[in-house]
Amino acid sequence: MPPAGDLIWFAAALVGAGAVAGVLAGLFGIGGGAILVPVFYQLFGLLHIDDAVRMHLSVGTSLAIIVPTSIRSFMAHRKRGAVDQELLRSWMLPVPLGVLSASLIAASVSSAGLRAIFALIAILVGLRMLFNRQHWRLKGELPHNPVRAVVGWSIGLLSGLMGIGGGVLNNTFMTLYGRPVHQAVATSAGVGVLIAIPGLFGYILAGWGEARLPPFSTGYINWVVVALIIPITLAIAPLGVRFAHALNKRQLEIGFGVFMLSVAARFLYSLS
């Protein structure tokens, strides 16, 4: 059992991570998993969770938390009429299939492999946030199938492997094709729902019967952490929606990009 002081410190870190995740869910249309997964990884290490399942448990638990957070954020954005419902309908199959593909990969890949995947994607996401420019455009309209379906599947796959809501990836896709950033953010909240729900069940099945998991876990989902974090993210997410229309998002993108690169460096160092 770790010292009481360490437990108190990490409990405070969990509260802070939940609050930040809630804000990010509304602000960028992301589920906050990019914040939660590194925090969970450290927490589970402090609690002496076997390293073979530590990263898997972090990713799966993050996806479980994203379910209500994404739904709350999506409902708030939809009230503003900014969601691209047609894009969401066209992704109702490809995105979940990508997430389920990710859970199959997670069931067979090692903890080190999952950390390497997270780090590499985090580097790409961090660089995208740092160097994003509003004038970057490819075409005037979103591509149709089969390209759109492949993009949706890829967003689901990468998000499922990282335990994130896919907002940064979807934001990039939509803004590159000329969609307004607020519409991209709002639609990303809906994409988060398409990712988190199949991700929840996928990671339960992927970790089913694993003997090295801590108490109160179903597969790679730890319900104690879920119960602690969800109320915080649900309370904070609507604030992020309001912040999205009031704050200097470029400064926040830079800060988030630096954070993602720092997390990537931490995971890469753990592999050495």
pLDDT tens-digit series, residues 210-230 = 889 988 899 999 998 888 888
For residues 164 and 109, give the distance between their C-alpha atoms in angstroms, rounded to a whole number: 18
Quick one: pLDDT at residue 98? 95
SS3 category, 211: coil
In this predicted structure, the answer to whether residue 58 has a pLDDT above a threshold of 80 is yes
Which pLDDT belongs to residue 194? 92
Per the model's pLDDT, the better-predicted residue between 65 and 8 turns out to be: 65
Would the pLDDT of 7 be above 80?
no
**Domains of the chain by residue range:** 4-271
Q: Is residue 77's pLDDT more than 90?
A: no
263: left (phi over 0), alpha (psi -120 to 50) or beta: alpha
18 compared with 187, residue with greater pLDDT: 187
Share of the chain above pLDDT 70, in %: 80
Alpha helices in the chain (DSSP H): 4-27, 33-46, 51-79, 85-90, 94-108, 111-131, 147-162, 167-176, 181-206, 223-244, 249-271
- Asked whether the beta carbons of 191 and 198 are under 8 A apart, the reply is no
Mean pLDDT of the chain: 80
- 46 or 158: whose pLDDT is higher? 158
**DSSP secondary structure code for residue 214 in this structure:** P
Q: Which amino acid is at 125?
A: V
Tens digit of each residue's pLDDT (9 = 90 or more) over 188-208 = 888 988 998 999 999 999 899
- Residue 161: pLDDT over 70: yes
In one-letter notation, the amino acid at residue 15 is V
Cβ 114 vs Cβ 161: under 8 Å: yes
What residue has token string 């997410």? Answer: 237
